[in-house]
């Protein structure tokens, strides 16, 4: 099996029945308004293990030969593929060993181990973990489960496309995040077979756009490095199979910046009450920032995963609140005397401004002797409160500097 047919995806759907979820297709008024289209969120962040990856992993492992099932199952991954392989192996009664970079967030390691996998932390990058996994496969005659460049993996991911059509036959455009290209390859084959008029748009992080670079060059290109907050789609080199399928079935490739991804992740949480990881919201960011022509169309962005690092989530929420004008950081220099700080906190209380954090700085040359720089992080109800703060401080003869 060296390519993927529509019948393979239909067969995969039968294989996955009772194992994976048929995830919700949720109409979103907020993102429809922002993108000027009819937006329906395909919530693969609600899938078992928290991402679409389990679909392909289970389909691949289920179809191992009897001889392959006697060998160890191996994968290299920093996140969602690891959990998909570990979970699938456990359900099918097989042992798995997952190689992950040493920097992998603890929650992802804990989740992978919770599915029964033997996790080996090695190297500083995915490439390092992959190299060690290949050495292990040779030494132990193990079966390697590739994250995207495999027909059975692609067929499993393609079941997302079948579900979308079953849930919304009037779909006109589907927007898919691209890392290695397994998801968009399967989805495109499924939907183009069902209705060739459906437009398939692929989205990469601007700092990891290896598929777009390859398409523009006319051959596969390896990026020297990737730099993006969307680690789930940070792939230096696309797969040969996925590259060929994307050239055949995908209509358009676009990119979104990390800033656009992060703000979309915040708005997904704030407006839609949906927690998704940065790679998972790249498709929604493309709609929100109008990266292609979505106007007036029935558009389905695939929210591909929800396994977010908690420290990253904290940063996204904080910066999102600042961008929305709900939080700001203010620098004020006051006399270093008892009672002066109390005057400021009393002012904030009068204005019904919530103080989130206070920092004092004295021992730097820009702070005059006898004074103290106070940095307030405050939560605001609206932008009008910020003007009230500015006006009151001016009346008291205190200068204020906004920090971003």
The residues annotated as belonging to the active site are 53, 304
Do 249 and 188 contact (CB within 8 A), yes or no?
Answer: yes
Of 404, 403, 329, 331, the C-alpha closest to 371 is: 331
Which tokens hold the place of 291? 């990266």
Contacts of 281 (CB under 8 A, 6+ apart): 261, 264, 265, 268, 303
Strands across the sheet containing 118-121: 118-121, 96-100, 73-76, 143-144
User: Is residue 182 helix, strand or coil?
Assistant: helix
What's the rounded Cα separation, in Å, for the pair 187 and 39? 18
What's the rounded Cα separation, in Å, for the pair 162 and 210? 27
| C-beta atoms surrounding 9 within 10 Å | 24
Sign of CA dihedral 139, 140, 141, 147: negative
> Cα–Cα distances in Å, from 122 out to 76, 98, 106?
10, 10, 14
């Amino acid at each position: 099996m060296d390519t993927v047919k529509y019948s393979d995806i239909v067969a995969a759907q039968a294989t996955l029945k009772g194992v994976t979820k048929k995830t919700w297709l949720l109409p979103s008024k907020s993102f429809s308004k922002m993108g000027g289209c009819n937006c329906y969120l395909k919530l693969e962040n609600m899938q078992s293990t928290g991402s679409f990856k389990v679909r392909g992993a289970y389909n691949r492992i289920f179809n191992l030969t009897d001889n392959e099932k006697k060998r160890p199952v191996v994968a290299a991954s920093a996140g969602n593929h690891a959990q998909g392989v570990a979970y699938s192996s456990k359900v099918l009664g097989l042992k798995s060993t997952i190689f992950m970079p040493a920097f992998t967030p603890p929650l992802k390691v804990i989740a992978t181990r919770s599915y029964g996998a033997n996790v080996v932390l090695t190297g500083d990058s995915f490439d390092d973990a992959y190299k060690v996994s290949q050495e292990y496969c040779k030494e132990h005659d193990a079966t390697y489960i590739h994250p995207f460049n495999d027909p059975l993996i692609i067929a499993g991911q393609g079941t997302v496309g079948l579900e979308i059509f079953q849930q919304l036959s009037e779909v006109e455009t589907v927007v898919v995040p691209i890392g290695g290209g397994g998801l968009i390859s399967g989805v495109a084959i499924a939907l183009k077979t069902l209705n060739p008029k459906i437009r398939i748009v692929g989205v990469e992080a601007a700092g990891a756009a290896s598929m777009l670079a390859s398409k523009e060059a006319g051959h596969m290109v390896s990026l020297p490095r990737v730099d993006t907050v969307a680690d789930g789609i940070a792939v230096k080199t696309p797969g040969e199979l996925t590259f060929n399928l994307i050239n055949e079935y995908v209509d358009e490739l676009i990119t979104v910046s990390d800033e656009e991804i992060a703000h979309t992740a915040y708005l997904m949480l704030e407006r839609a009450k949906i927690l998704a990881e940065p790679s998972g919201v790249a498709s929604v960011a493309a709609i929100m920032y109008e990266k292609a022509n979505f106007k007036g169309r029935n558009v389905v962005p695939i929210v591909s995963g929800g396994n977010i690092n908690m420290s990253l989530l904290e940063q996204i929420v904080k910066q999102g609140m600042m961008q929305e004008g709900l939080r700001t950081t203010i620098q004020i220099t006051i006399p270093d005397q008892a009672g002066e700080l109390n005057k400021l906190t009393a002012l904030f209380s009068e204005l019904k401004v919530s103080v989130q954090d206070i920092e004092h700085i004295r021992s730097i040359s820009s702070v005059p002797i006898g004074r103290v720089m106070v940095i307030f992080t405050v939560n605001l109800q609206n932008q009008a409160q910020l003007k009230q703060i500015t006006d009151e401080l001016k009346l008291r003869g205190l200068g204020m500097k906004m920090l971003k």
